Amino acid sequence: MAIDLLNVRFHYPQQPNHEVLNIPLWTLPVGEQVFIHGPSGGGKSTLLSVLSGLLIPDEGQVSIFGQRLDQMPNRRRNQFRANHIGYVFQQFNLIPYLNALDNIQLASRFAQRKKAPVLLGDIKKLLTDLNISASDWHKPARALSIGQQQRVAIARALINKPELLIADEPTSSLDPFNKEAFMALLMSMVSENGISLVFVSHDLSLSHYFNRVESLNVINRCGDSP
C-alpha cells in the first residue's frame, strides 16, 4: 500500500475539544490516484499534513509505503518526506525572487536518495516537458504568469521523483483554461511515472479526472463538525 491509515485521531493542541480527524481505516494502493472532496474547514489540509508526517496523530497508525511515519524520529521523518513525497500547495509557495531553475534546485537539495545531485539537465528537461520555454527559466518566479508558476510548482514537486504526490487544492487560483491545462498535465505526469496521488479540493468539477472519488465526510467521522 502507498498509504495505510488505522484508527487515526487528531486535534490541534489549541482546540482540545475539537477533534479534526477520526479515520478508522483508509488505504491507497500503490500507483492509484484519489480525489478527496470536502468543504472548507473540513480537515482536508490537516489530513494531508498527517499523510506527509508534518503532523503526528494523537492516536493511530500512519504507514506510507509500509513505513510507520508516526513512529519515526523527526529527522528520519523529514528525510523520508524529502525522499518519497512531493507536495503541491494551494499557494504555490515559490520563492518569488528566485527563478524557476533555482526554485526547483532548492527542493532537490533536501533529498538525498540519488547519489548524484539532481542535474541542471534534469530540471531543464522537466520544465520543457511542462511547457515552460527556455526564455522563462531565468525570470524570477514573481514575473511568471499564474499558470507558469503552477507548472514550476509541479516541476518542483516532481524533481525528486516522489512515489507519492500530495496536492492541496492546487487549482484554486487558476482560471478555467489554466485549471484544465494544469489538471491534464498533472494527471499525465502522474500516470506516466506510476505515482500515487492524493488530491484534495472542494471543487467537485475536478472529479472527472479521477477513477476514485471520495468525500472526506465518509472517510472521516469528524467530517460534519466544522
Ligand X SMILES: Nc1ncnc2c1ncn2[C@@H]1O[C@H](COP(=O)(O)OP(=O)(O)O)[C@@H](O)[C@H]1O
User: Cell numbers at residue 210, please?
Assistant: 479521477
**What's the rounded Cα separation, in Å, for the pair 19 and 225?**
9
Query: Considering the rule CB under 6 A, would residue 38 count as an interface residue with ligand X?
Result: yes
User: Cell numbers at residue 177, please?
Assistant: 483554461
CB of 55 or CB of 152, closer to ligand X: 55
* Given 10, 26, 35, 45, the residue binding ligand X (CB under 6 A): 45
Q: Which of these, 47, 53, 75, 73, lies nearest to 65 by C-alpha position?
A: 53
How many binding residues for Mg ion (CB under 5 A)?
2
The H or E element containing residue 45 is: helix 44-51
In degrees and rounded to multiples of 5, residue 37 shows phi and psi of: -110, 155
Residues from 25 through 44 that contact Mg ion (CB under 5 A): 44
Cβ contacts of residue 163 below 8 Å, gap of 6+?
A: 2, 30, 65, 84, 85, 195, 196
Segment interacting with ligand X, rule: CB under 6 A, options 44-52, 128-136, 181-189, 190-198? 44-52
Query: Considering the rule CB under 6 A, would residue 12 count as an interface residue with ligand X?
Result: yes
The option from ligand X, Mg ion, none interacting with 43 (CB < 5 to 8 A, set by class) reads ligand X
Query: Considering the rule CB under 6 A, would residue 170 count as an interface residue with ligand X?
Result: no
CB of 14 or CB of 17, closer to ligand X: 14
* Given 45, 108, 171, 196, the residue binding Mg ion (CB under 5 A): 45
The option from ligand X, Mg ion, none interacting with 117 (CB < 5 to 8 A, set by class) reads none
* Given 42, 53, 147, 223, the residue binding ligand X (CB under 6 A): 42
**What's the rounded Cα separation, in Å, for the pair 123 and 164?**
19
CB of 87 or CB of 137, closer to ligand X: 87
Q: Please say whether the beta carbons of 168 and 38 come within 8 A.
A: no
Query: Considering the rule CB under 5 A, would residue 105 count as an interface residue with Mg ion?
Result: no
Q: Provide the sign of the torsion angle of the four alpha carbons 67, 83, 210, 7, taken in this order.
A: positive
Q: Which of these, 185, 189, 188, 186, lies nearest to 199 by C-alpha position?
A: 186
* Given 41, 95, 117, 125, the residue binding ligand X (CB under 6 A): 41
CB of 111 or CB of 216, closer to ligand X: 216
Residues that bind ligand X (CB under 6 A): 12, 14-15, 20, 38, 40-46, 226
Residues that bind Mg ion (CB under 5 A): 44-45
